[in-house]
Structure 1
Amino acid sequence: MKNKKKLLGAAACTAAALVLTACGGGGSGPSQGAGEPVIDGTLTVAINEDPGNLLRHINSSATLSYVYPWAYEAPVYFDADGEAQGWLAESWEETPTSLQFTIRDDVLCDDGSSLTAETVANNYRWILDPENGSSFVGLVVPADAVVEHDDAARTVTLTTETPNSFLLPQLGIHPIYCQGALDDPDSVAAATNGTGLYRLVQAVQGDHYTFERKDDYAWGPEGGVDGSTPGVPKSVVVRIIENPSTRANLLLSGELNLTAVQGPDEDRVAASADPLIANSLVTGGFAYSQAEGRPTADEQVRIALTQALDLDALMRVQTADKGERASRLAVLPPQICQYDAATTNLPASDPEAAAATLDDLGWVMGPNGIRERDGEQLTLHFAWNTRWPETSATAELIAEQWAAVGVGVEQDGSEYGVFIERVRAENAASEIDVVWHAANYSVPNVLTSFVAGPVPPTGNNYAAISNPEFDALVGEASQYTGAEACATWEQAESEMYSSADYVPFAMRPEVTYSRGIEATLGGAWDTATSFILVQE
């Protein structure tokens, strides 16, 4: 039996929000504080919005990734070297079509019950049950998975018909809920029933969530903490503070211990606080609709439109000049696959070549400066969301650069919830030519559902992308496990980018800063219960 599996890259991220954004994961290691432990202190965290329903199985919100790890644990976590380590699972075995965990026998739930192999298995069964409407079918638990358990042997076994390169990071870091939560999901919408170091004792929606330490907690991973470790907080308070400047001010004044900071406040925070958790997120990208009848269904049109853009300039606007070009589909830790397929294969900026190609395709300049063909104007319906404040300016710059080669743009910007409803509507790809896409996860196969396969409402392929070469290479890559699959995944993504199906162009660092915290397991949100308070 394996109890470790070596993966490439940095530390782990919690199971990410999978729609069009994700959690902060990874880690830069412990903070540099060297003070004495604070006994029975309170650790205060600030997040920018309410997490909503606390049942992760139905809520893919990125914000929830900063809240549930205080109360819930997963079978494994990934350390700072990208190596899988046991947590609820003491050992495991993995093949491209199977994953088996052996579950510890000393783990207790909030309600006092013992965690069994059956309960772990029932978490995956709950996600697969179509009556529950989980958003993690196919994203975390493969849709064709068969789940079995053996309580006497303490094993949970998942088998699939379709090979999968990354079953361990997909399933292994997803949080496990206790049986009472699965039996009554409403009971954990604003409460907890998990195995973690803390239990939720107060939930004030839109304001704060207070967790209290379980002093009898004794089953943490090797090198972690237990309920009596000096410096382990007695309480954890997660506050909802929307304004980033307010979060920065409270961190610098000592009223917060932990918060993410971006934008104009970051420089002053970085001068006084420790970067406890750091990773990069893809924040800028879009896909061209390939629905029948849309002009962007033509590969040569997509290539020309991409050549018309200065992707480096778009990246600088989208990241407030703090980022870099996106390199691949999956950039979150644990980075099993590390390669640059995007910048080396996306069409290079060449507005003159773009104009010439559009001329050759019959899209000629009309009297109003917009290209036309057979009486149809080349005006693109561009749907994007305002989750990142820089996106509006980026969308305007895209429109300006397309206008320079005679392409019109009908802007369709909206807040995140409205945007998701819009692009997930039936036949949306037949009305939208360009859709914003900036999803994040640690393994590429999870993100494949956004660039291949069924369209909404049955799938996540918002732009109705179809690339047979990509699909074939994905199938080939799935025959391998872990890092062995990466070379073929790189080939698959290269096919997608060279065809300008999906154009990721911006990636920016997301840093969570801390005051008075040390991380015994290397600084990541899914191991947040290993954080201890120290005197500054």
Structure 2
Amino acid sequence: MLKSRLAAASLLASLCILAPSQVVAQARTSVAVAASWHVTSLDPSSDGYTYQRMGIGETLVDADASGALVPGLAREWSSSEDGLTWRFRLRPNVEFHDGTGLDAAKATASLNRALSHPGILSLAPIADITADGDDVVVRLEKPFAPLPALMANYATMILAPASFAEDGSTVAVIGTGPFRITFVAPPISLEVERFSDYWGEPALIETASYMSASRAEARALMVESGDTDLAVTLDPAGIRQLSPLDDVEVEVVPIPRTIALKLNLARPQLAEAKARRALSLAIDREGIAAGILGFPEAAATQLFPPTLEDWHSDSLAPLSTNFSEAKSLLAELGWEPGPDGILMRDGKRFELTLRTFPNRPELPLIAAAVQDQWRQIGVDLNVSVGNSSDIPAGHQDGSLDVALYARNYGLTPDPIVNAADDFGSGGGDWGAMNWDSPKVAEALAAALETTDEAARADAVESVIESVQAELPVIPIAWYQQTVAHPKALQGVVVDPLERSYGLSKLRWAE
């Protein structure tokens, strides 16, 4: 086999040398994407973000770059006066990739399957989902204002009935998007082609591919060598490597994602708000943002970034760095240096283990920086670099001490959904752990139910003030999304909500 491939390559080279007039340059019609995330499953509840970003699956509701809700597969939606019934009217003449037509019954079946699985729809008090003519009808047990935002999440993408086996498992991803899958090889890659019967504007390119390349330096090298056309999420070294190249463009866009520390408040070292404030004071955010991320403006002064205007408050006292004050606060709580300099109280060391993962290449580096900075105030922080799944697993079984991650508050276009999941009663896998605030729970409930903008704004303000004061999670930096591509690839737009790679708008310069 190897000999035959070498012979074929030799023959091709000979043809190029001996008969150049017969070699015709063809316009490029394909785009290769490289990102850090594996394609581990066909199930939209777990890997739907990849299928959504690649333009394969679509949702009833879409969102523009500002987070405003816009029509998706539903051309319009409305709620009853009591807020208990929502109607989503479908677009006409929409086809799935298998040639079958979309109707309310099929959309309802897809959503009911999503509802039966762990995922975003479990956050809403849904009584039932039914079909009525061209409408998908969702009945609620109590008002839930952000329901349309949930219907924009990847886990609610509408798939054809043939996507599912009789037992409900996903056997194919047959969506309605501008691209359909032609090949998938979990966990590394998938390939798509333009869907000629797409209901919207057809894609400009004919095919595209996705490859999981977990190491940031590998993605940078792939762009430099021409092995990929769109590399998503670069580390500072990769940005420095690619920025000077004449034929490569590096795009940097702030997005509603925050790098933060999740704390298990059941641990005696973390149970007191004063101790958490001390740990926050012992983080040099500006140094991390400038030295590791390469963006000094990314230092987080509060949890929610400025890109989330309704959730970012200029009136909050900003988080700052003060190692002396941090030491004083811990001393007030009875923590005293032991023989090795590590703080002790009641015979227990101030020792914790931090879990993080390398899919976002900056996280292990930030973990090492926090480890060093906390050591300066007498805190022994061990760092464990593993899989991202280790964090929710540690939340569920109670084994987690501290976690470092990048939380996407644009997972749905309305951040209230994520906030309720993270800071509601019982906390969440990617939010608070063993922190219960009746004040916050009440404010979240009000924000979820009300359609009055002033009342909602008051509730949101109450949430962000409490989170800033009590620090159930400690913000470190606001995320900057980075994408590199050849300058010849035109139409690249970095989606701040990370919903799409924008493949259908891409084209190669002639």
TM-score under structure 1 normalisation? 0.76
Q: Deviations over 1:435-457 (max 9, x none)?
A: 3243213233332323332368x
**Post-superposition shift, 1:380?**
2.9
Q: Pick from 498, 512, 517: which aligns with 2:483?
A: 512
Change (3 A) 1:385 1:437: same
Work out whether 1:502 is the aligned partner of 2:502.
no
Name the counterpart of 1:33. none
Letter in 1 for 2:71: G
Distance 1:522 1:296 in 2: 38
Q: Is the 8 A contact 1:164 1:478 kept in 2?
A: yes
**Unaligned runs of at least 5 residues, structure 2:** 1-25
Distance 1:151 1:274 in 2: 49
In the TM superposition, what are the counterparts of 1:201-240 in structure 2 within 5 Å? 201-205=182-186, 208-217=189-198, 219-220=199-200, 225-226=201-202, 232-240=204-212
Counterpart in the other structure of 2:416: 445
Match of 1:73 among 58, 72, 87: 58
Name the counterpart of 1:176. Answer: 158
| Cα distance per residue 1:409-448 (max 9 Å; x no partner) | 3x1412124623651342325xx2x332432132333323
Change (3 A) 1:436 1:194: same
For the aligned residue pairs, the C-alpha RMSD in angstroms reads 3.5
CA 1:316–1:285: 2 relative to 1, 3 Å: farther
**Contact 1:287-1:503 at 8 Å conserved across structures:** yes
Secondary structure (helix, strand or coil) at the match of 2:44 reads: coil
Identify the match of residue 263 of structure 2 among 268, 288, 291: 288
> Which position in structure 1 is the counterpart of 2:181?
200
* Corresponding position of 1:113: 100
Contact map agreement 1:387 1:415 (CA 8 A) in 2: no
What is residue 413 of structure 1 aligned with on the other side? 384
Contact 1:128 1:143 in 2 (8 A): no
Q: CA separation of 1:375/1:141 partners in 2, compared to 1, >3 Å: closer, same or farther?
A: closer
Residue aligned with 2:464, SS:
helix
- Residues 248/522 of structure 1: CA separation in 2 closer, same or farther (3 Å cut): closer
Distance 1:106 1:57, change over 3 A: same
Offset of 1:143 from its aligned partner?
4.4
Q: Name the structure 1 match of 2:127.
A: 146
| TM-score, L = length of structure 2 | 0.80
Cα-to-partner distance string for 1:362-416 (whole Å, 9 max, x where unaligned): 222333322222222222333333333333332233233333233333x141212
Contact 1:284 1:437 in 2 (8 A): yes
Letter in 1 for 2:360: W
Where do 1:67-466 residues align within 5 Å?
67=54, 69=55, 71-94=56-79, 98-129=85-116, 134-136=117-119, 139-152=120-133, 154-174=134-154, 175-184=157-166, 188-189=170-171, 191-205=172-186, 208-217=189-198, 219-220=199-200, 225-226=201-202, 232-252=204-224, 255-263=227-235, 264-267=237-240, 269-270=242-243, 272-274=247-249, 278-280=253-255, 282=257, 284-291=259-266, 294-321=268-295, 324-326=298-300, 335=308, 337-340=310-313, 344-345=316-317, 347-409=319-381, 411-417=382-388, 419-420=390-391, 422-428=393-399, 432=401, 434-442=402-410, 443-448=414-419, 449-454=421-426, 463-466=433-436
Amino acid at match of 1:406: G
Q: Which amino acid aligns with 1:339?
A: H
1:330 and 1:182 mapped to 2: Cα distance? 38
Secondary structure of 1:93's match? Answer: strand
Call closer, same or farther: CA 1:527–1:170 in 2, change over 3 Å.
farther
User: Comparing 237-246 with 503-512, which one deviates more in the overlay?
Assistant: 237-246
Q: Which has the higher helix share?
A: 2
1:57 aligns with 2:45: yes
Equivalent residue pairs, number: 470
SS state at 1:59 partner: helix
- Cα distance in 1 for residues equivalent to 2:233 and 2:494: 20
> Offset of 1:212 from its aligned partner?
2.0
What letter is aligned with 1:113?
T
> Residues of 2 paired with 1:188 and 1:39: CA distance?
36
* Structure exhibiting the larger radius of gyration computed from Cα positions: 2
- Taking the aligned partners of 2:363 and 2:491, their CA distance within structure 1 comes to 34
Q: Which residue identity is paired with 1:427?
A: G
1:473 alignment partner in structure 2 = 443
Q: Partner of 2:88: helix, strand, or coil?
A: strand
Secondary structure (helix, strand or coil) at the match of 1:439 reads strand
Q: Distance in 2 between matches of 1:240 and 1:112?
A: 29
**What letter corresponds to residue 61 of structure 2 in structure 1?**
V
Moved more, 515-524 or 44-53: 515-524
Deviations 1:299-335 (A, max 9, x none): 22222222233333343455244651236655598x5
1:20-75 residue CA offsets vs partner (Å, 9 max, x unmatched): xxxxxxxxxxxxxxxxxx97822322233431212212436x655544x2x21222
Give secondary structure in 1 for the equivalent of 2:500: helix
Mapped to 2, the partners of 1:312 and 1:510 lie a distance apart of: 18
Aligned to 1:14: none
What is residue 462 of structure 2 aligned with on the other side?
A: 491
Deviations 1:263-282 (A, max 9, x none): 22224544544467844263
Amino acid at match of 1:416: N
Post-superposition offset of 1:510: 1.0
Q: Is the 8 A contact 1:521 1:530 kept in 2?
A: no
Q: Is the 8 A contact 2:292 2:362 kept in 1?
A: yes
**Structure 2 equivalent of residue 8 of structure 1:** none
2:482 alignment partner, SS class: strand
Taking the aligned partners of 1:416 and 1:294, their CA distance within structure 2 comes to 26
d(CA) in 1 for partners of 2:409, 2:292: 19
In structure 1, runs of 5+ residues without a counterpart are 1-37
1:118 to partner: Cα distance: 1.9
Distance 2:283 2:30 in 1: 50
Q: Please give the alpha-carbon distance, in whole angstroms, between the structure 2 residues aligned to 1:245 and 1:400.
A: 25
The verdict on how the C-alpha distance between 1:518 and 1:294 changes in structure 2, with shifts beyond 3 A counting, is same
Residues 58, 105 of structure 1: alpha-carbon distance in 2 compared, 3 angstrom cutoff: same
1: CA distance, partners of 2:191 / 2:264: 45
Change (3 A) 1:110 1:490: same
Cα distance, 1:101 vs structure 2:
0.8
**How far apart, in 2, do the equivalents of 1:268 and 1:460 lie?**
33
